[in-house]
Structure 1
């Protein structure tokens, strides 16, 4: 009997549509017998397949009879191995699921600002849970998904899980004192539902491949680990402290919980177990799947999210009436080039062909770290643009304050009302009249107006008695407070805030006065954090791209020249990370942060990495070691 031609059978979206069934087999169907029973294909009995099975079993190479028997046994085992349907590209359902991922990421990014180390950890933690949930679904979809009513219902539930993430996102502040357990309960519930649905999907797959004995154990282990993860997520809800509220006073007791660490550990453990099982039992591995395209599409989506963030930053700048001078234009051009260079560094090293069953799974899992770095660097790039704009506008506000203050010292104003009105006109035209819609500056404006009133009165008192040092102190404090309100409003109009735990303003009897130096220190501290994580994430992104490219190198390209290129990119990545060491000298760091060279520095280093990836040796060197070795470098 001649063996049936096998391998990974690819199904394109153009195939004839058939009525949906309640359940569909993930196996390739050979033909339908006369009695209606379906028969499934098995892999082709080839020398490569036979040798792979022989290598995994013990045999005596010196016993010819035993070897012949083992070949027959292996042939039978190969006939028993299932052949799963493979798609040449991502299905429409997978792409639709990716839209929910990017919608969650975009929404969370727009709502949650990174302004301290706690918010940075919270951002990374939320992205980790979102990414690991997406990856858990993708590990199933690329191997076993089959279009049927059950799968569509399961996918609808997964869409609901993603909507649940959107519900939790706005209230996501892990580790901070809280009196409401709702966000923890909701997240534990949706994570449990996600894993229960996955366990049901794997169980249906196991039902259809149960006759193939080699698949029973690995799939059972995956189902077991997924169910255990679901139970652990569910048990977290019961382990949470009970809310205690005083109904008469309307006050609830606040508590701090570390439950989010349990979510991170469980999500990471189940991914490690699922990938580890597929590495050990090759029968359910990712060979022949579109996992490479799946990861590259998500990388493209994350880069696209970076473009959205940068464009939003530009729109905020336009709404604030900022002029696009050479400084601002250079920052915008650098940010766009950074995204484009990241795109080239990743996709120019993309290899679509299969490069090893285990390596492929390691390659896919490493994208978790790469995607976190990309999200952080792209988010930070938009903040750095805002920082440069804020510095430019602050300098101009300060110039206007110093101009009016200087005129007051020369006697240009006959009374305090003229002095205050001159200051009001200068700042109103530049700042208060350009506040974009949606920015609530009512409190700052109220403080601004009351401060100008105090300023006018103090100036009049000073004109009456120039030896009165109290009036001089009141004028200084009033000017300081007025400028602080202008600076705070300037940052608020750019959607830049400082942590709520920041020190409060110093209160004088019946009036509030603000220290401009203290306020500026808060914003500087916030952007020092942005500076550090942008350069660290940019350097680590280069490093992980080089590692991912190394793992995916096909054998034909594994030579010294490629290793040198990848090593150079890693070294440049380390150099970008080491730029953060400038914070050991605060004056140097402040000088660098006030310059316009932060984004251009990253851009130039990324451009150098692209050059390293594409430069070819001189023509006279190509013949050394054989011309064919240099071809296609």
Structure 2
């Protein structure tokens, strides 16, 4: 049976029987409007229920992740301001996605009108991407247009949803009268927020750099009210919808963004010199984290009705959870690349020390080896031309020296083997070039690229910041897992649920407590330059999964006893 394309107004879903008794597909013209009511249940009208997402819903999810990927490509997380920029922009597209999803899971039916509305919503997502490149936490003269554009797009999105709800209210008002008041309330909320976003267009100016945060007040207002009204309005409840499926699919796609970071790591680490045991160990650490993250989430996904209030909490908690997944993904990528950089710098230090070890090699042999070591790093100097020049100047200076070592006595040799100032200058510029080659850059107007040591300190500060926010985000992810396990009643017995939730909270505290190491720089540096840092979160999730499996095994005997007792109680008594 042929499938209808998005732009086709004809489907082949109706099968009719000919006079000869054979079945054939009869074309069905897509209507201009389609009622969301279940046509097979005329006596008790209700909305049509679906258990799976439609292709157009999944297509809309892809646009959200495309926005996220575009924003990640133009924004680097190198300070707390960048973190809040991520939170702000992702909040805009996430809550817009939520409002569209709340409509689609109940009222979306294939029609020409719905397809036109979907084009408008997809266009809004494209508009978000265009403005995201200039989005930041502060409104300035050069980016005020981005905030105004976002405000117009938010207003248009909500007005379009209000129109969609209005059309569907007209389609169902005579058969589903119980839903009229709730639908009117939802239309009113979306109209108010749509007008509010439009009014905010006039308020954006550099003198009010943080006024855009009012958006989040409106986001929470509209989502909380619409979900609450829906759950307390007969006929449009969210209980029998596939909201859980939609949220789970979005989570899967966001975790898939984590997979993209793995491919980026492989491309940057492996493309030049091929696979090594160390690079394999680093990549497998990230892969294990991605897999166990997926496993940990779907292991506690709702599998039954768990109450309207719990559903509302579960839905809204996905925004901070998704933010933690996104931020930890970026941090994990930087940590993996930093491990690779530290390994290359270790090889460089060993080479410079080899040049001055007894018995000392010939100067030409030692310098050729040093030059080859730097060349084998496969550094892309397109982003660090000044560092490339500085490295060549150091090498040329060593060639012009009679003695390249720091002293005639090997016990007086410096940390670098070669002279202290040259070793520090060389390693500093190589470090900056490696970070730039990996796409990790800094913006510091007070330093020049010739000041290798100064830049090294800045990069070490960046790594310390990434270390802190990585363990904060993964710790918060574990907190979310604990709350999800409590909301969905992962285990059949209350005591087992308490153990599961408590163990997750303990693991969360252990993860967050890792930031205490940041006070000791030497300890933090050793931890960050060891592959175990990439396995810390994955090992924690593995421990949680093993505890859950143990509780499942302990619950099996009790289930069998309950099943046997219920069987005995219902069995007929035989008289002797």
Q: TM-score range by the shorter chain?
A: 0.7 to 0.9
- The equivalent residue for 2:258 is 306
- The equivalent residue for 1:127 is 90
Shifted more, 475-484 versus 392-401: the winner is 475-484
Conserved? CA contact 1:90–1:294, under 8 Å:
yes
- The equivalent residue for 1:549 is 485
- The equivalent residue for 1:338 is 289
The superposition leaves residues 175-234 of structure 1 with CA deviations (integer Å, 9 ceiling, x where unpaired) of 275534222222222212211111111111121122344322221221121122222222
- The equivalent residue for 1:159 is 122
Question: Post-superposition shift, 1:388?
Answer: 0.8
- The equivalent residue for 1:187 is 150
**Counterparts of 1:21 and 1:625, CA distance in 2:** 53
Q: For 1:4-15, list aligned pairs within 5 A.
A: 15=13
C-alpha change, 1:330 and 1:628, in structure 2 (3 Å) is farther
C-alpha change, 1:341 and 1:25, in structure 2 (3 Å) is same
- SS of equivalent residue, structure 2 residue 49: strand
- The equivalent residue for 1:174 is 137
Q: What RMSD, in angstroms, separates the aligned Cα atoms of the two structures?
A: 3.4
> How many residues are aligned here?
532
Q: For 1:18-57, list aligned pairs within 5 A.
A: 18-29=28-39, 41=42, 43=44
**Counterparts of 1:164 and 1:318, CA distance in 2:** 36
Question: Over alpha carbons, which structure has the higher Rg?
Answer: 1
C-alpha change, 1:410 and 1:393, in structure 2 (3 Å) is closer
C-alpha change, 1:438 and 1:83, in structure 2 (3 Å) is farther
Question: Post-superposition shift, 1:483?
Answer: 2.9
C-alpha change, 1:18 and 1:617, in structure 2 (3 Å) is closer
C-alpha change, 1:236 and 1:456, in structure 2 (3 Å) is farther
- The equivalent residue for 1:440 is 383
Conserved? CA contact 1:310–1:381, under 8 Å:
no
**Counterparts of 1:255 and 1:310, CA distance in 2:** 41
The superposition leaves residues 425-447 of structure 1 with CA deviations (integer Å, 9 ceiling, x where unpaired) of 44543334654669433332234
- SS of equivalent residue, structure 2 residue 202: helix
Q: For 1:355-394, list aligned pairs within 5 A.
A: 355-394=306-345
Q: Is 1:486 matched with 2:430?
A: yes
TM-score (norm 2): 0.83
- SS of equivalent residue, structure 2 residue 138: coil
Conserved? CA contact 2:162–2:191, under 8 Å:
yes
C-alpha change, 1:618 and 1:306, in structure 2 (3 Å) is closer
- The equivalent residue for 1:347 is 298
**Counterparts of 1:255 and 1:461, CA distance in 2:** 61
Conserved? CA contact 1:286–1:361, under 8 Å:
no
**Counterparts of 1:14 and 1:366, CA distance in 2:** 41
Q: Is 1:232 matched with 2:196?
A: yes
C-alpha change, 1:589 and 1:411, in structure 2 (3 Å) is closer
**Counterparts of 2:129 and 2:170, CA distance in 1:** 34
The superposition leaves residues 406-433 of structure 1 with CA deviations (integer Å, 9 ceiling, x where unpaired) of 38997965xxxx7xx964x445433346
- The equivalent residue for 1:613 is 548
C-alpha change, 1:310 and 1:225, in structure 2 (3 Å) is same
C-alpha change, 1:620 and 1:129, in structure 2 (3 Å) is closer
**Counterparts of 2:274 and 2:155, CA distance in 1:** 48
- The equivalent residue for 2:23 is none
1:117 to 56, 80, 91: 80
C-alpha change, 1:410 and 1:356, in structure 2 (3 Å) is closer
Question: Post-superposition shift, 1:107?
Answer: 2.5
Q: Which runs of 5+ in 2 are unaligned?
A: 1-10, 15-26, 409-418, 567-576
Q: Which runs of 5+ in 1 are unaligned?
A: 1-12, 31-39, 44-81, 242-253, 467-474, 506-511
C-alpha change, 1:536 and 1:180, in structure 2 (3 Å) is closer
Q: Is 1:535 matched with 2:471?
A: yes
**Counterparts of 2:12 and 2:284, CA distance in 1:** 41
The superposition leaves residues 451-481 of structure 1 with CA deviations (integer Å, 9 ceiling, x where unpaired) of 5556667x48999xx9xxxxxxxx7555533
**Counterparts of 1:629 and 1:167, CA distance in 2:** 63
Question: Post-superposition shift, 1:270?
Answer: 1.6
TM-score (norm 1): 0.76
2:462 to 504, 522, 526: 526
Conserved? CA contact 2:476–2:508, under 8 Å:
yes
- SS of equivalent residue, structure 1 residue 87: coil
Question: Post-superposition shift, 1:167?
Answer: 1.1
Q: For 1:212-611, list aligned pairs within 5 A.
A: 212-241=176-205, 257-321=209-273, 323-325=275-277, 327-404=278-355, 406=356, 423=367, 425-432=368-375, 435=378, 439-450=382-393, 452=395, 459=401, 477-498=421-442, 500-501=443-444, 503-505=446-448, 513-516=450-453, 518-553=454-489, 557-611=492-546
Question: Post-superposition shift, 1:283?
Answer: 3.3
**Counterparts of 1:534 and 1:447, CA distance in 2:** 33
